[in-house]
Amino acid sequence: MEPIIVKEDLYWVGAIDWGVRDFHGYVTKNGTTYNNYLLLDKDITLFDCVHKDFSLMSLENIRKLIDPKLIKNFVINHIEPDHSGALYTFLKELPNVTVFTTEKGKKGLERMFNMEGVNVKTVKNGETLSTGKYTLLFLETPMLHWPDSMVTYVRELKTLISQDAFGLHFASTCRFDDEFISTYSSFELEDAIYDYYANILMPFGSLIKSKIEEIVKLGIEIEIIAPDHGVIWRKDPKKVINMYLDMASGKAECGVVIVYDTMWHATEQMVYPIVKGILDEGVKAKVIKLRSSPLSDAVKEFWKLRGVLVGTPTINNSMFPSVAEFLYHLSGLKPRLRVAGAFGSFGWSAGGVKQAYEFFRKMGLEVVEPGLEINYGLKDEDREKCYEFGRTFAKRVSEFHKNL
Ligand code: FEO
């Protein structure tokens, strides 16, 4: 890739990672990008770094524009290794640079790298820096999504360099939202936003909401959002802001996702009449089989819909391991405003469904009880029970959704 103009003197100089499929456990089936940006001004400024495997690619992009030795300011908005990993290589090429980061960013960088001899200046919320023609406004965004995080607003370009916020894990030839929509579709763009938010940002909904409101109160005009992953929002930055506000408020479609796994197919057989029951209640349904689908897909679909039904066989008096992994992971994401129920089959001893409900209660989800457990395979009367279970659950989801 070549460097690409974002606006006037601001360039994308990042790298595309077509091949990454495991992003610290999150399945990135479409790869990702590591975006960093170069501002050409009296004091040339580089915003963010890239993954260490892509340092040469980004440096090559920079060299196509300037000699890296001329870079004066190096803004590190976020120190997670997908952004700071190449820092050491970069610093060798940027001998005259001052690094700007938050206090926590500085501490983190000192733990991760030998920063001896590097000029590091810490910045606080609301501080500004002039680069000549342009003014940078630093806004701390702690826990979005690490304690060190901040974003930088380039005032005269009305551009927010937003690090992880408003990002997507999607490697493509498209650097901008409008290009992505014409090459792929709006649906794929929205799906990628859900995927990223659900798997990375779900626990921080209230922080996201208050930070966006704080930025809006500052009265700063945002024409472009340039995140550190995925597309740059130039056509419709409000779209992603509004989607974030909706997701941060727990907004979801009225529907049910069934997330299940199966041992000898009895739990799987229960899914079919349950789905019919949900649909007959006029509620949409989606089905995700664990071990056939990435965990991150299950999390995304969970977050899109109001209700979740978890299907688990019992093994060794416990939930099936893949189902336990899903619920364990989900509880760390601190979901809210979702309705949950469980079903499954057992042989000589039940227990998996009961355990699933323990997880739901700990997460503070709205539960629909009792769950449904079937001994061994399904008989006709069991299919009827499954159907009614699906109908009852869908009715409760629908009521809960309407009353929000
Ligand atoms: Fe893209 Fe928090 O790293």
Q: Is residue 341 part of a domain?
A: yes
Ligand 1 proximity of 145 Cβ (cutoff 6 Å): yes
Is there a single domain that holds both residue 208 and residue 145?
yes
Residue 145 annotated among the catalytic residues of the structure: yes
> Is the distance from the beta carbon of residue 48 to the nearest atom of ligand 1 less than 6 Å?
no
Predicted confidence pLDDT, tens digits, the chain (404 residues): 799 999 999 999 999 999 999 998 889 999 999 999 999 999 999 999 999 999 999 999 999 999 999 999 999 999 999 999 999 999 999 999 999 999 999 999 999 999 999 999 999 999 999 999 999 999 999 988 899 999 999 999 999 999 999 999 999 999 999 999 999 999 999 999 999 999 999 999 999 999 999 988 999 999 999 999 999 999 999 999 999 999 999 999 999 999 999 999 999 999 999 999 999 999 999 999 999 999 999 999 999 999 999 999 999 999 999 999 999 999 999 999 999 999 999 999 999 999 999 999 999 999 999 999 999 999 999 999 999 999 999 999 999 999 99
Q: Does residue 297 sit within a domain?
A: yes
Q: Is the CB of 17 under 6 A from ligand 1?
A: no
Q: 278 lies in a domain? A: yes
Q: Are residues 157 and 284 in the same domain?
A: no
Catalytically annotated residue among 37, 134, 153, 196: 196
**80 occurs within a structural domain:** yes
pLDDT of residue 1: 79
Active-site option among 78, 83, 169, 401: 78
Out of 51, 83, 145, 169, the active site residue is 145
Same domain, 39 and 127: yes
Minimum-distance ligand 1 atom for the alpha carbon of 145: 2
Give yes or no: residues 380 and 322 share one domain: yes
Number of domains in the chain: 2
Closest residue (by CA) to atom 1 of ligand 1? 164
Q: Is residue 273 part of a domain?
A: yes
Q: What is the pLDDT of residue 24?
A: 86
Which of 215, 248, 281 is the last residue in one of the domains? Answer: 248
Statement to judge: residues 20 and 165 lie in one domain: yes
Are 94 and 230 part of one and the same domain?
yes
**78 catalytic per annotation:** yes
Task: Note whether 183 and 160 are same-domain residues.
Answer: yes
Atom 2 of ligand 1: nearest residue by CA position: 80
Would you state the torsion angle of the CA atoms of residues 296, 36, 129, 158, taken in this order, to the nearest 10 degrees? -80
Domain residues for the domain of 274 are 256-399
Any domain includes 111: yes
Residues 128 and 26 in one domain: yes
Ligand 1 centroid distance, CA of 283 (Å) = 36
The answer to the question of residue 404 being in a domain is no
pLDDT for residue 162: 97
- The predicted structure's pLDDT at residue 317: 94
Q: Which two tokens stand for residue 151?
A: 């974003």
Domain-ending residue, one of 248, 273, 291:
248
Q: Are residues 333 and 365 in the same domain?
A: yes
Which CATH number characterizes residue 374's domain?
3.40.50.360
pTM: 0.95
Question: CB-based contacts of 277: which residues, under 8 Å, 6+ apart?
Answer: 386, 387, 388, 389, 390, 391, 392, 393, 394
- Of these residues, 51, 83, 229, 401, which one is catalytic? 229
Mark whether 169 is an active-site residue.
no
| Pair (297, 228) in one structural domain | no
What is the distance in A from the centroid of ligand 1 to the CA of 217? 26
Domain containing 127 — which CATH number?
3.60.15.10
Ligand 1 atom, smallest distance to 146 CA:
2
Q: Is 196 a catalytic residue?
A: yes
Q: Are residues 315 and 181 in the same domain?
A: no
- Residues 324 and 377 reside in one and the same domain: yes
Q: Is residue 58 part of a domain?
A: yes
* Domain boundary residue, one of 224, 248, 272: 248
